[in-house]
Amino acid sequence: MEVVNDARLMELVREPARELLPAVRRASVVQPLVILLVFLPGLLGFWNRTLDEATCRQGLLAFDVAAGMRPMDWFVIASRNAAESSTPMFPLPMLATALGLQVELLSPESRLLLVSYLSSSFLLLCLSCLAKKVGGSRYALLVVCLACGHREFLVLSESLPPAAIPLGFAALSFRTMLSHQTAGQPLISWPLLASSLTLAACWLSGGELALACLGVLLAINLSSAFSRENLSARSTLKRAVRQRLWKLSIAVLNFVLVTTIAVAIVAGWQSLSSDRIARPMFAGSSFWFRRLWPVETSAVESVQALWQMIGAWLGFLVIGVVQMTRRRMREQRGLGTESAWLLVAWAIVGWLSWRVTWPEHHGAWTDSVSWPGFLLLPMLFFAAWGLEAVLRRELGIGTVVTATLATLGVYFAPQWTTRLPNPVTATWIAACVVTAAIAIGAGLIVIRRLAKSEAHSRRLLLSCVALVALTDTTNGVFSRRRLADDERELLAFRRQLITEPAPDHCWLITENSSPARLQFFLRSLWRGVTLQEAESWETVLLKPSQTSAANTVESGAANPRTAPVANHKPRTIVVTWGGAKLPVDDLKRRGQPLTQATLPHYFQGQLLKGYRWHERTEGANSR
């Protein structure tokens, strides 16, 4: 006979633990939320976003691509610009940027960033598809929730080149390869062909990032060959070895087939856009397998960059890794053997690539190859797995609260270290550690006292999850770069010029090299008007006259029976920036009409002005 004491009675009376947010398991709830989170947060950086020099240089290259008369000219110009550029550039992002510049309903900076916004949304959609294959609908929703407000993902909707395009194609390639493995097709299937196409698209938009994708795809194929589920319990050793070799040969053949199709597509693209097949995508000093281990990198700086990149995910990331090392994934629904191998191989390849190319990017997310982004994505999946473990109530309240407090402490540590006294003594550091330990211990005791009932426990866990999510989203929102004074001046200058009718010529007179931002804004004002640069007014006085004379001769030759009729003299917009001086008196004595079109502005500390200039008539020229 069992004796029931008071403690046993309290356990029997206590309400059993139930998982958090069970409603998000329904597809009718998950799908609208995923669509909303994919497209809504990126609008924060898409509207009224400032442009930097690197983004405007990409816009100028896109203008060159859009100058082609036929679609085939766009492909040729984009491929040749990517091959001849000194910096890593790729044809697919350049073509997408050129298409975005054709949208007439948006401002020039919004047209330029349209591709960045759409590419970030495309990446989130691809991640949701991959996450749904890995762990189900709720897991996909958690992945998108963690990513949509993160600072590094918000940056993707605000900068060029669009690094999200190759990352999205890489995620799609993994998704289709997992579909091929789980479908049980022995050699070839439609998902395998789709994996080849997406790998080729990643190659054309990310270059050497496709090589890292090949390493992950190889790990996925090998995991299917060495999984225990392929063998039966009654198999003999000879039969088991034969089955292993057969599965291994099929996996290697699938990998070779995917690689061959992708290489053939890339080679065909290059043969159509150039005279010979070359390897322009792998140029540059960041080609990672040509480099040795970088001895000049700093371990402290790389760890700080990694922590800053992870942000408030750190606690969930640790929980997810612990759950994987405990091998609980096979006991839970979703995340099978192939998915586990995918995440592990992805994290290893991403870390190696990020580590060996550290001197090139220094942790910057917006690099054109985007090795930090390739490392961040598997960490996102681990963090979402840890968050789902919290929602399934697999961890105790003390563990979740400790992980939350530790995450916030590490997250805000760089801000606290700036307020440290100088010099910092060992006694002071020990006192701080003891104080933090006492505070955390007292907090855990109070929390355990308060969370006696199931309702209080659920509120506490939801508060921890909401606190981490709110911290991460707030950091992403407030980390956006603000408009500087010279950028406001440039926008005001553009608003005054955009009211002018389209001229026949546009000149930029400056004695210094003009910034890419100024060139982009002038080229984006009027469609079909070419921007010409000059160092002095003598070039501007000569060129329009020659153009006008040529137009008059061509018109007279086209109609020989009639006398040549003087054409309408072209109207010119002249913009002066910096030390270029305007000889107003000389031009007036020559009979040149010149009026000021804008108020004086200062861009980068130099004077910026715009003028309307109508060319003189023939009578004025003869005098």
Q: Does the pLDDT at position 105 exceed 80?
A: no
Distance CA 359, CA 361 (A): 6
Residue 251 counted as domain residue: yes
Residue spans of beta strands (DSSP E) within 436-581: 505-509, 531-534, 571-577
Question: Do residues 208 and 368 make contact, with C-beta atoms less than 8 angstroms apart?
Answer: no
Question: How far, CA to CA in Å, does 381 sit from each of 250, 469, 586?
Answer: 28, 15, 69
Q: Are residues 34 and 83 in the same domain?
A: yes
**Which of 209, 38, 210, 37 has the alpha carbon at shortest distance from 122?**
38
From 440, 455, 478, give the residue that closes a domain. 478
10 Å CB burial of residue 223 (0-12, 13-18, 19+) is buried
Q: Are residues 581 and 433 in the same domain?
A: no
Say what the pTM is: 0.83
Q: Are residues 514 and 495 in the same domain?
A: yes
| Residue of 68 and 280 predicted with greater confidence | 68
What pLDDT score was predicted for residue 328?
52
pLDDT for 386-409, tens place per residue?
A: 898 888 888 878 788 888 887 887
**Residues 6 or more apart in contact with residue 494 via CB below 8 angstroms:** 108, 521, 525
Q: Are residues 40 and 119 in the same domain?
A: yes
Q: Are residues 72 and 125 in the same domain?
A: yes
In this structure, what token pair is assigned to residue 26? 């329904």
Cα 49 to chain center, whole Å?
15
Q: Which of 18-27, 63-72, 293-302, 320-329 has the highest mean pLDDT?
A: 63-72
What pLDDT score was predicted for residue 228?
56
Lowest mean pLDDT among 169-183, 360-374, 525-539: 360-374
Distance CA 615, CA 541 (A): 9
What are the beta bridge partners of residue 610?
575
Cα 168 to chain center, whole Å?
9
**Which of 555, 597, 605, 541 has the alpha carbon at shortest distance from 573?**
597
From 260, 277, 294, give the residue that closes a domain. 294
Residue 305 counted as domain residue: no
Q: Are residues 161 and 52 in the same domain?
A: yes
What pLDDT score was predicted for residue 555?
35
Q: Does the pLDDT at position 253 exceed 70?
A: yes
What pLDDT score was predicted for residue 85?
61
Question: Do residues 564 and 618 make contact, with C-beta atoms less than 8 angstroms apart?
Answer: no
For 98, the enclosing helix (H) or strand (E) is helix 91-100
Residue 577 counted as domain residue: yes
Residue 323 counted as domain residue: no
Distance CA 435, CA 155 (A): 37
pLDDT for 21-55, tens place per residue?
A: 776 777 677 888 888 888 888 787 666 566 778 77
10 Å CB burial of residue 248 (0-12, 13-18, 19+) is middle
Q: Does the pLDDT at position 493 exceed 80?
A: yes
What pLDDT score was predicted for residue 583?
64
Which amino acid makes up residue 271?
S
**Which of 357, 331, 362, 325 has the alpha carbon at shortest distance from 343?**
325
**Residues 6 or more apart in contact with residue 192 via CB below 8 angstroms:** 176, 177, 180, 185, 254, 257, 258
Q: Are residues 210 and 70 in the same domain?
A: yes
From 478, 505, 520, give the residue that closes a domain. 478
Q: Are residues 276 and 407 in the same domain?
A: no
Residue 380 counted as domain residue: no
Q: Does the pLDDT at position 592 exceed 60?
A: yes
Pairing of strands 594-596, 531-534: unpaired
In a 13 Å sphere around the CA of 567, the CA atoms on its Cβ side amount to 18
What pLDDT score was predicted for residue 306?
81
Question: Do residues 67 and 100 make contact, with C-beta atoms less than 8 angstroms apart?
Answer: no
Q: Are residues 135 and 257 in the same domain?
A: yes
Q: Are residues 422 and 534 in the same domain?
A: no
10 Å CB burial of residue 435 (0-12, 13-18, 19+) is exposed
**Which of 559, 181, 141, 195 has the alpha carbon at shortest distance from 388?**
141
Question: Do residues 225 and 244 make contact, with C-beta atoms less than 8 angstroms apart?
Answer: yes
**Residues 6 or more apart in contact with residue 385 via CB below 8 angstroms:** 135, 139, 320, 323, 324, 335
Number of domains in the chain: 3
| Average per-residue pLDDT for the chain | 75
Q: Are residues 418 and 274 in the same domain?
A: no
Determine the average pLDDT of the residues in 420-444.
64
Distance CA 556, CA 270 (A): 45
Residue 141 counted as domain residue: yes
pLDDT for 303-358, tens place per residue?
A: 777 887 888 888 889 888 888 777 654 555 456 677 888 899 999 998 888 877 77
| Residue 518 lies in domain | 485-555+565-622
**Residues 6 or more apart in contact with residue 492 via CB below 8 angstroms:** 601
**pLDDT band per the 50, 70, 90 thresholds, residue 552:** very low
Question: How far, CA to CA in Å, does 472 sit from each of 476, 559, 601?
Answer: 6, 71, 39
What pLDDT score was predicted for residue 130?
93
583: phi then psi, degrees, rounded to nearest 5: -80, 75
Lowest mean pLDDT among 129-133, 233-237, 571-575, 602-606: 233-237
Question: Do residues 111 and 103 make contact, with C-beta atoms less than 8 angstroms apart?
Answer: yes
Q: Does the pLDDT at position 199 exceed 90?
A: yes
In this structure, what token pair is assigned to residue 470? 């709110």
Q: Does the pLDDT at position 595 exceed 90?
A: no
Residue 184 counted as domain residue: yes
Distance CA 111, CA 113 (A): 6
Q: Are residues 492 and 456 in the same domain?
A: no
Distance CA 247, CA 226 (A): 8
Residue 594 counted as domain residue: yes
Distance CA 536, CA 508 (A): 10
**Residues 6 or more apart in contact with residue 513 via CB below 8 angstroms:** none
